């Protein structure tokens, strides 16, 4: 028995010894793996050439365990690295193949950095990898087939790089059944989508391949992806019949984007019915976009069988003919319907008016006839109605007066008759009214002429309107363009038109107007184009027009003007063509008859006689009056009458140096018009110089609209007080009285970005591409700070070139926070300007026309201010800079927005836009490699602008993402320019 016990103890000891050795051996193995992983990271770090945020500072610590390094996550036993996430760290360099040593890695995220070069093939050996994200870098070359070895991959995101070549088949067809998300969009990939029938894609929910150069048909193998929720193949060169069978069993599909390809419909491009039938089972479908293809045939009646969840439906720019089926009214949740630019005929079905959720309706550029259904006036949320370029007849319905949310009414180029309904004035939010090229008669109703809501343009041209120009036109103080040409208007031009201070275009040609041309027209601060030709105007052409710093286009032809015309100022670029048909004109304009010289002795005699009479009178009466005025001013200054108002001051006012109202008066010359440097919907901005030679800009709030902007002053003070960033305007002080409120800001020596984008004849020097990218990067950084980092989260609401100022170093500063919104998540002590605030303020539009996101601009009031709206405005700014086209100019053409106009050229017809931009922003002597780099940057700016201006707010990038992209482009240009300087220096 004792021997047995001894044997048992021996056996137990032996097992313990073996177990100990196994544990020790395991620990040594674990230690060896983690040390190997550490070595891989150190090697990876050697490829990093730029780390401005010191993101990898912890990697240099010899005492810190590798599992505690920034972006590194180990498994529970700390025996291997399973996650490396260095996204949005502003890292630059190349991706080292050494990452292949992280054999247990499941997540690799290097997105939104500045990595360049190729994707290393060694990543294909990371067999445990489940998530790979290299999006938004500068990677180039092809997508390597080695990535097909990653059979556990669930998430692949390589979007927004410079990747080219074909898509490797192994990404989709490698025997994996886990693949859920694939985003290869916004590259330059070519070839077909490599999907075969045997590919296992049952888990695929997101496939995003938009904005590439892919060809061929949509692979039938997608029929296996029954869980697909989002398919975006837009802006490629795909062709063939719409893939009906693929979508027949996709009940989870929500977003389907096939626009801007070359698809056709079934049965020889005559039948869209099978495709609509296939989608009938997709009961979650929200957006369907088929625009700009080659789809033909009639719109089938089974359109009414599409899922009732559908909210947006685009069929524009196709080859559809026939009538609009009344069954479309079954889509009761539709908010956007776009059937424009087809060959549709027949009448507008009254059933359309049953779709009460409609917010935007585009039926333009078809052959629709008959009368406009008056029932359209019963759509409570309608914000945009475009029926232009059809064959509609009859009267404009009075029922439109019920459209309280209507912002844009486009009925031009039809055959409408009768008078303009005065009831249109009840559309209190209307910003665009275009009734041109119809058969309208009668006078312009005073009610319509006095609509202050019109902020973009009024176009009544090419009708049969008669009578005088209504004095009420002067109330349109925010309208950008007025076109009343080609009518039968008579009488004189009222001088009150000078009150339309925002006016940029005025065309009253082709009427029967007489009398002189008012001086006030030339004093409009932003007027760029004036056409008064083919009237009966008399007298001299006002000097104010010649002195205008903004006028570019002028036409005075076929009137009865007389007098001398010089070739200076705004007339310097004009030819005799702008003055033809005026026999009484003479001067130095090229091709114009010279004026005969006359001796004017009275010019010498009259001043002498006047001086003999006036001097004694001034000595008797004038000097005592002047002295009395000085005494009165001195007494007033002692009594404090003109000091900062004695009303209740907020704490903010005591934090800044006190500058009195009198001092501001003196600095600006009594707010003299000559000191005016800007105007907006809330007031005017004057330049001035204080007694200590400080140059200032004084933003004076308009007292006429004090009721509507009562919160604007406090709001801007609040924001300027609490935000601190190099790219945001700072405040010097404020001045507040019951009848006067002003912000005092530093005067930016280089003015606004708008001044440089659209230089007058006195300023011909534009900005080069490096400067423009730098400015946009500054703006993006400033707005990203407002959205994501400011102690008080802010939505700016009014991003545009005139609200971007440039200092001595051409650094951009975002300004004008008068209609901004403070949002939740910041300082709890902030007044409640949070996300529950509505974007509009007592009927005033939040933002500026052309820059406002569709969700705020085109449909009803009451939309909340959002950061996505600022992203949209920034995108418009990018597109404006690249194209050199104001967003409001496009509205006069066939496109409804600058986004749509650029999108119509993207991606296959961008070269004219790129070359034009290159001509404006570069030198002819630029080296070829630098020119090529600039072309790449311009295309990148276009793509980023299009991404920011997508209709759906949820698909737009965040401002933080945008700032990252702009910083990347800025760095790329800087590096390329440095190479040029080094090359030039070495040659020297």
Pair type for strands 804-806 and 812-814? antiparallel
DSSP for 474-498, written as a single string: GG-TT-SEEE--SSEEEEEPPGGGG
Provide the b/e sequence for 274-295 (b: ≥16 CB within 10 Å): bbbbbbeebeebbbbbbbbbeb
Q: Are 514 and 491 in contact (CB under 8 A)?
A: yes
Q: Residues 207, 236: contact at Cβ < 8 Å?
A: no
Exactly one of 798, 816, 870, 961 is catalytic; which is it?
798
Contact 272, 304 (CB under 8 A): no
Would you tell me how many other CB atoms lie within 10 Å of the CB of residue 784? 25
Residue 718 has phi, psi (to 5 degrees) of -60, -45
Q: Residue for token digits 């075969």? A: 196
Written as six digits, the tokens of 871 are 């992203």
Rounded (10°) angle between helices 769-784 and 959-987: 150
HSE (CB half, 13 Å, CA atoms) of 254? 6
Span between the terminal Cα atoms of the chain, in Å: 101
- Bridge partners, 370 (sequence order): 392
DSSP helix/strand/coil, 391: strand
Residue with tokens 């343009």: 457
798 is catalytic: yes
Q: Is 608 helix (H, G, I), strand (E, B) or coil?
A: helix
Beta bridge partners of 208: 183, 232
The length of the chain in residues reads 988
> How far is Cα 744 from Cα 37, in angstroms, rounded to an integer?
58
Residues 6+ apart with CB under 8 A from 847: 797, 798, 799, 819, 839, 856, 857, 869, 873
Q: Which helix (H) or strand (E) holds 153?
A: none
- Within 8 A by CB and 6+ apart from 976, the residues are 929, 930, 933
| Host H or E run for residue 921 | helix 911-921
Q: Report residue 377 as tokens.
A: 């006036």
H or E, element range at 22: helix 2-46
Q: What is the largest CA-CA distance in the chain?
A: 150
Residues 6+ positions from 124 with CB-CB distance below 8 Å: 144, 146, 147, 148, 149, 150
**Beta carbons within 10 angstroms of residue 972's beta carbon:** 19
Query: Residue written as tokens 């041209």?
Result: 461
Distances (CA, A) of 708 to 681, 713, 718, 854: 11, 11, 18, 23
- Among 73, 72, 69, 110, smallest CA distance to 93 is for 110
Backbone CA torsion sign across 82, 87, 91, 94? positive
Residues 6+ apart with CB under 8 A from 614: none
Catalytic residues: 798
């Amino acid at each position: 028995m004792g021997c047995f016990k001894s044997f048992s103890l021996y056996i137990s000891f032996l097992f313990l010894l073996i177990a100990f050795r196994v544990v020790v051996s395991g620990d040594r193995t674990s230690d060896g793996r983690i040390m190997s992983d550490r070595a891989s990271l150190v090697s990876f770090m050697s490829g990093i050439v730029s780390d401005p945020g010191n993101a990898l500072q912890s990697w240099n610590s010899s005492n810190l365990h590798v599992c505690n390094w920034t972006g590194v996550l180990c498994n529970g036993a700390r025996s291997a690295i399973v996650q490396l996430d260095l996204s949005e760290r502003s890292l630059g360099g190349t991706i080292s193949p050494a990452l292949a040593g992280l054999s247990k890695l499941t997540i690799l995220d290097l997105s939104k950095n500045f990595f360049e070069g190729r994707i290393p093939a060694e990543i294909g050996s990371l067999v445990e990898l489940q998530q790979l994200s290299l999006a938004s870098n500068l990677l180039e070359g092809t997508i390597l087939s080695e990535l097909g070895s990653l059979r556990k991959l669930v998430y692949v995101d390589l979007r927004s790089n410079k990747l080219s070549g074909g898509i490797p088949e192994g990404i989709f067809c490698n025997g994996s059944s886990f693949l859920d998300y694939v985003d290869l969009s916004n590259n330059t990939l070519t070839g077909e989508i490599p999907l075969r029938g045997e590919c296992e894609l049952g888990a695929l929910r997101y496939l995003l391949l938009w904005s590439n150069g892919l060809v061929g048909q949509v692979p039938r193998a997608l029929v296996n992806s029954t869980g697909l929720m989002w398919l975006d193949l837009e802006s490629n060169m795909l062709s063939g019949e719409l893939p009906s069978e693929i979508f027949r069993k996709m009940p989870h599909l929500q977003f389907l984007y096939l626009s801007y390809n070359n698809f056709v419909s079934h049965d020889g491009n005559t039948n869209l019915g099978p495709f609509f039938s296939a989608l009938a089972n997709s009961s979650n479908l929200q957006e369907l976009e088929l625009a700009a293809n080659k789809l033909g045939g009639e719109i089938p009646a089974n359109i009414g069988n599409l899922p009732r969840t559908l909210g947006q439906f685009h069929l524009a720019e196709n080859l559809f003919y026939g009538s609009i089926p009344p069954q479309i009214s079954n889509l009761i949740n539709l908010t956007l319907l776009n059937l424009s630019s087809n060959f549709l005929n027949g009448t507008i079905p009254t059933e359309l008016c049953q779709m009460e959720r409609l917010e935007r309706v585009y039926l333009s550029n078809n052959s629709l006839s008959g009368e406009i259904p008056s029932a359209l006036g019963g759509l409570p949320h309608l914000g945009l109605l475009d029926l232009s370029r059809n064959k509609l007849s009859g009267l404009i319905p009075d029922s439109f007066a019920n459209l309280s949310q209507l912002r844009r009414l486009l009925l031009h180029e039809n055959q409408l008759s009768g008078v303009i309904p005065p009831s249109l004035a009840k559309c209190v939010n209307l910003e665009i009214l275009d009734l041109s090229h119809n058969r309208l008669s009668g006078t312009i109703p005073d009610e319509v002429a006095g609509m202050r809501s019109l902020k973009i343009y009024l176009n009544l041209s090419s009708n049969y309107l008669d009578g005088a120009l209504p004095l009420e036109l002067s109330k349109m103080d925010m309208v950008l363009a007025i076109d009343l040409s080609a009518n039968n208007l008579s009488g004189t031009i009222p001088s009150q038109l000078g009150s339309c201070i925002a006016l940029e275009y005025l065309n009253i040609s082709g009427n029967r107007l007489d009398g002189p041309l008012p001086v006030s027209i030339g004093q409009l601060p932003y007027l760029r184009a004036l056409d008064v030709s083919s009237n009966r105007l008399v007298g001299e052409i006002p000097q104010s027009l010649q002195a205008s710093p903004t006028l570019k286009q002028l036409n005075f032809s076929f009137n009865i003007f007389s007098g001398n015309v010089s070739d200076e100022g705004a007339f310097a670029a004009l030819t005799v063509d702008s003055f033809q048909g005026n026999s009484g004109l003479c001067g130095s304009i090229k091709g114009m008859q010279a004026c005969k010289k006359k001796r004017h002795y009275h010019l010498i005699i009259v001043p002498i006689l006047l001086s003999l009479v006036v001097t004694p009178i001034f000595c008797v009466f004038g000097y005592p009056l002047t002295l009395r005025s000085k005494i009165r001013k001195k007494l007033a200054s002692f009594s404090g009458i003109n000091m900062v108002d004695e009303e209740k001051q907020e704490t903010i006012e005591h934090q800044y140096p006190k500058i009195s109202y009198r001092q501001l008066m003196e600095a600006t010359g009594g707010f003299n018009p000559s000191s005016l440097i800007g105007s907006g919907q809330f007031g005017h901005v004057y330049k001035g110089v204080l007694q200590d030679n400080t140059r200032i800009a004084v933003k004076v709030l308009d007292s006429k609209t004090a009721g509507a902007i009562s919160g604007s002053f406090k709001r801007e003070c609040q924001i300027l007080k609490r935000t601190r960033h190099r790219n945001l305007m700072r405040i010097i002080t404020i001045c507040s009285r019951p009848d006067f409120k002003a912000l005092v800001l530093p005067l930016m020596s280089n003015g606004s970005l708008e001044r440089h984008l659209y230089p007058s004849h006195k300023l011909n020097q534009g900005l080069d591409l490096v400067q423009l990218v730098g400015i946009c990067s500054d703006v993006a950084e400033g707005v990203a700070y407002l959205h994501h980092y400011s102690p008080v989260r802010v939505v700016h609401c009014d991003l545009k070139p005139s609200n971007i100022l440039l200092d001595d170093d051409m650094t951009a500063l975002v300004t004008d926070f008068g209609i901004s919104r403070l949002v939740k998540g910041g300082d709890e002590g902030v007044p409640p300007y949070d996300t529950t605030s509505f974007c509009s303020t007592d009927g005033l539009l939040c933002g500026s026309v052309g820059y406002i996101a569709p969700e705020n601009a085109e449909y009803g009031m009451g939309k909340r201010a959002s950061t996505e709206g600022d992203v949209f405005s920034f995108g418009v700014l990018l597109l404006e800079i690249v194209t050199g086209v104001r967003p409001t100019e496009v509205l006069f053409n066939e496109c409804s927005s600058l986004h749509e106009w650029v999108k119509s050229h993207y991606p296959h017809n961008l070269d004219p836009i790129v070359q034009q931009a290159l001509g404006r922003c570069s030198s002819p002597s630029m080296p070829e490699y630098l020119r090529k780099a600039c072309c790449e940057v311009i295309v990148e700016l276009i793509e980023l602008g299009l991404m920011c201006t997508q209709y759906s707010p949820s698909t737009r990038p965040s401002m933080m993402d945008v700032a990252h992209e702009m910083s990347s482009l800025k760095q790329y240009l800087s590096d390329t320019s440095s190479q040029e300087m080094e090359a030039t220096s070495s040659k020297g």
